[in-house]
């Protein structure tokens, strides 16, 4: 009889590096930058993509499932067809037709947000026109001073030809900084919904869009989830252009490029893809755009949803897309060769690809001197291991391996648990559950009393549990140490992954002791080793071993970080001169004193 494993266990043991049913590997680009030696690039092939049902991977979708997915996609296209029935239609030349079309498109009979302002352009033979905008998204002061006032008061523009009308209005009467002529009705709708004002003139089969975005949003403030002592304190906000501007204020380079895509058939969301042209691998940029363009949804409100769409393996606990609300962090990743993704009005910006070591680093590591930065990073790595394994190791030691601890400590543990009615694993599960409740409550309740509830609640619950004889005092110390260690993890998504994985290691230690923890750790390390993020292994440059910057597990000296990470395959490998401190003996070429002494003697 064949041995059958549960479905969840089979999924855990399957090694599959397919990405969106296709295999993408980040390779050397055939392009070379100015001054770069092209011989560094190996003769590599471009990323290959395998279709559904390919035999090269370990997962083959059955035909019935493929047909079901295809049918569902067709049904989705049909369901949104009535919402996009005006695609590729031209703007009518007569205002009455435009007005009727606006009524049907924006449901003006019941929709009071969209404003249609009719007016007359003051020329010898007045022209009828109207402006369309969304109240609350457009700045009314700009509309009054830069659109209505010039068009209604100023004169002396050519007449008759409709094309000359639009050109004259755009060139002479609209002082806005961004004025664009459009011909398709879809562009008109998207411009109005984006906060711009559209001007239509009778007799013209085109329209003019004027940049008037001015909705209320949170001003640039402190990064809430990534606080630092040394370094910039500003964070991203809920404004797309403010976020891109924050990065550009740090990276003042003409090679910094931003391409704007759109996701959402019902409510389009702007997606900004930012990279440094001539440095970032073009294959990586194309792969990012390819995945974004392949997403078909009605609405995408936040970068967290896009992160889930872009994940190579959604069931993997470790994040495969990096997210941050610090502009300086995005700027440093762009300089290394990453690609940044801005999502609409989300205060979190994504960066791809990501490796495990990046999520344990902070921007403060680079701003502090080497001894302090290296110490803090090492402390975070120790805290990560403690937060992941300490509860499971405590259960394993007390249940299976008491001989591994000193006799006095073993007797103290046994004495403290003498009145406890529950097994160790039940004790620690109860306390971990209580800590998670306190942590979640501290986030949801008002910020004024949130920290107080977290501290006081933990003290009260711990003291009451010990006095009631439900848990032992030593166990409270173990759980509290684990909670403190998890708070030191700088990346929120990685912290969540450690919190979930801690329970898995706890169960493994309860059933098999250290053997269970070791087996589970090996399985998970193998899983991480074969998993990729946009063609880059999650454990690179450690597994597989690659060269590049020494800033991985331990922070290196700033003047020794000469090369960019090799796993990103950047077009420019060097980011600084090998000798950045010519006055220092540590970086200067040391003269061979032996040879010079021999010459002097001869």
According to DSSP H, which parts of 237-322 are helical? 240-250, 282-294, 303-310
293 in any annotated domain? yes
In a domain, 515, yes or no: yes
Cα–Cα separations (whole angstroms), residue 453 to 55, 348, 372, 440, 459 = 55, 27, 32, 11, 10
Same domain? For 347 and 447 the reply is: no
Task: Report the alpha-carbon distance of residue 584 to residue 586 in Å, rounded.
Answer: 5
Closest by Cα among 558, 386, 394 to 476:
394
Indicate if 533 and 454 belong to the same structural domain.
yes
Domain boundary among 515, 537, 559: 537
The residues, ordered by sequence, that sit 6+ positions from 10 with a Cβ below 8 Å of its Cβ are none
Per-residue pLDDT at 7: 64
In this structure, is residue 576 part of a structural domain?
no
Domain range enclosing 193: 95-210
- Sign of torsion, CA 442 448 451 455? negative
Q: Which of 388, 380, 389, 386 is nearest to 357 (CA)?
A: 380
Q: Cβ-count burial of 180 within 10 angstroms (0-12 exposed, 13-18 middle, 19+ buried)? A: middle
CB atoms near residue 163 (< 10 Å): 11
| 425 and 500 part of one domain | yes
Is the bond preceding 218 in cis, omega lying within 30 degrees of 0? no
Is there a single domain that holds both residue 341 and residue 467? no
Are residues 413 and 501 located together in one domain of the fold?
Answer: yes
Does residue 316 form part of some domain? yes
Could you say which of 51, 79, 107 is where a domain stops? 79
How much of the chain is helix, strand and coil, in % rounded to 5? Answer: 45, 10, 40
**Residue 552 maps to a domain:** no
Those residues with Cβ within 8 angstroms of residue 94's Cβ, 6 or more apart along the chain or in another chain: 202, 203
Distances (CA, A) of 402 to 385, 408, 512, 543, 583: 21, 11, 14, 35, 57
Q: Exposed, middle or buried by CB within 10 Å (0-12, 13-18, 19+), for 431?
A: buried
DSSP 296: -
Kindly state whether residues 320 and 434 are assigned to the same domain. no
Side-chain half-sphere exposure of 25, counting CA atoms within 13 A: 10
Do 446 and 500 lie in one domain? The reply is yes
Contact 200, 98 (CB under 8 A): yes
Q: Which residues pair with 199 in a beta bridge?
A: 131, 208
Question: Domains in the chain: how many in total?
Answer: 4
How many residues does this entry show for the chain? 602
Chunked mean pLDDT (size 10), the chain, 602 residues: 55 45 64 47 39 41 56 59 58 87 88 88 79 88 85 65 68 75 88 89 86 77 83 88 90 90 88 93 93 91 92 89 93 93 92 92 87 90 94 91 84 81 89 86 71 70 80 88 91 92 94 93 90 89 76 80 86 79 62 48 49
> Which one of 299, 334, 354 terminates a domain?
354
Quick one: 176 and 300 in the same domain?
A: no
Torsion of CA 454, 487, 495, 567, to 10 degrees: 160
Q: Which residues of 42-51 are buried (b: 16+ CB within 10 A; e: fewer)?
A: eeeeebeeee
Residues 323 and 404 in one domain: no
Q: What is the pLDDT of residue 57?
A: 42
The DSSP code sequence of 224-236 is SSS--SSS--B--
Which among 97, 89, 86, 140 is positioned nearest to 117, based on CA atoms?
A: 140
3-state secondary structure of 17: coil
**Cα(287)–Cα(28) distance, rounded to whole angstroms?**
14
596 in any annotated domain:
no
pLDDT of amino acid 306 = 93
323 shares a domain with 195: no
pLDDT value at position 41? Answer: 41
Is 185 found in the same domain as 52? no
Rounded CA separation 153/244 (Å): 37
In a domain, 58, yes or no: yes
Residue pair 585/591 in contact (Cβ under 8 Å)? The answer is: no
Instruction: Give domain status of residue 51, yes or no.
Output: yes
On whether both 452 and 508 belong to a single domain, the answer is: yes
CB 269 within 8 A of CB 263: yes
């Amino acid at each position: 009889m064949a041995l059958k494993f549960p479905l969840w266990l089979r999924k855990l043991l399957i090694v599959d590096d397919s990405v969106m049913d296709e295999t993408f590997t980040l390779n050397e680009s055939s392009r070379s930058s100015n001054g770069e030696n092209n011989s560094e690039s190996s003769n590599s092939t471009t990323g290959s993509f395998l279709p559904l049902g390919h035999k090269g991977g370990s997962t083959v979708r059955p035909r019935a499932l493929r047909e079901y997915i295809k049918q569902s996609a067709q049904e989705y296209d049909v369901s949104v067809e009535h919402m996009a029935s005006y695609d590729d239609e031209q703007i009518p030349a007569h205002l009455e037709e435009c007005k009727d079309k606006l009524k049907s498109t924006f449901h003006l009979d019941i929709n009071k947000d969209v404003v249609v302002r009719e007016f007359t352009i003051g020329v010898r033979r007045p022209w009828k026109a109207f402006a369309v905008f969304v109240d609350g998204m457009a700045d009314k002061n700009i509309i009054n001073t830069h659109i209505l006032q010039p068009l209604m008061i100023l004169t002396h523009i050519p007449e008759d030809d409709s094309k000359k009308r639009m050109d004259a209005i755009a060139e002479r009467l609209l002082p806005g900084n961004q004025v664009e002529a459009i011909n398709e009705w879809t562009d008109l709708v998207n411009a109005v919904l984006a906060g711009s004002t559209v001007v239509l003139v009778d007799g013209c089969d085109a329209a003019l869009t004027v940049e008037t975005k001015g909705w209320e949003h949170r001003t640039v403030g402190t990064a809430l989830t990534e606080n630092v002592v040394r370094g910039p304190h500003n964070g991203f906000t809920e404004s797309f252009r403010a976020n891109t501007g924050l990065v550009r204020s740090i990276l003042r380079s003409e090679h910094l490029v931003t391409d704007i895509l759109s996701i959402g058939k019902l409510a389009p969301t702007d997606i900004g893809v930012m990279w440094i042209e001539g440095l970032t691998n073009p294959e990586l940029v194309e792969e990012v755009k390819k995945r974004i363009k392949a997403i078909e949804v009605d609405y995408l409100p936040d970068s967290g949803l896009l992160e889930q769409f872009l994940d190579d393996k959604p069931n993997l606990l470790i994040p495969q897309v990096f997210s941050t609300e610090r502009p300086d962090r995005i700027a440093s990743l762009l300089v290394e060769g990453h690609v940044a993704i801005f999502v609409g009005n989300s205060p979190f910006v994504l960066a791809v690809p990501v490796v495990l070591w990046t999520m344990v680093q902070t921007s403060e590591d680079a701003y502090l001197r080497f001894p302090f930065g290296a110490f803090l990073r090492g402390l975070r790595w120790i805290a990560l291991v403690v937060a992941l394994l300490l509860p499971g190791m405590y259960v394993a030691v007390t249940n299976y391996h008491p001989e591994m601890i000193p006799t006095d400590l073993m007797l103290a543990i046994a004495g403290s648990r003498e009145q406890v009615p529950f097994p160790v694993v039940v004790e620690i599960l109860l306390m971990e559950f209580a800590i998670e409740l306190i942590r979640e409550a501290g986030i949801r309740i008002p910020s004024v009393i949130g920290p107080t509830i977290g501290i006081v609640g933990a003290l009260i619950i711990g003291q009451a549990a010990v006095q009631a004889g439900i848990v032992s005092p030593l166990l409270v110390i173990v759980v509290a140490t684990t909670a403190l260690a998890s708070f030191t993890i700088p990346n929120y998504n990685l912290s969540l992954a450690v919190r979930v994985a801690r329970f898995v290691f706890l169960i493994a230690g309860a059933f098999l002791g250290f053997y269970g923890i070791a087996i589970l750790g090996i399985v998970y390390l193998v899983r991480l080793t074969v998993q990729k993020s946009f063609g880059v292994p999650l454990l690179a440059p450690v597994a597989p071993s690659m060269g590049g910057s020494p800033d991985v597990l331990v922070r290196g000296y700033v003047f020794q970080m000469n090369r960019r990470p090799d796993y990103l395959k950047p077009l420019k490998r060097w980011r600084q001169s090998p000798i950045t401190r010519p006055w220092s003996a540590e970086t200067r070429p040391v003269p061979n004193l032996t040879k010079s002494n021999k010459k002097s003697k001869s």
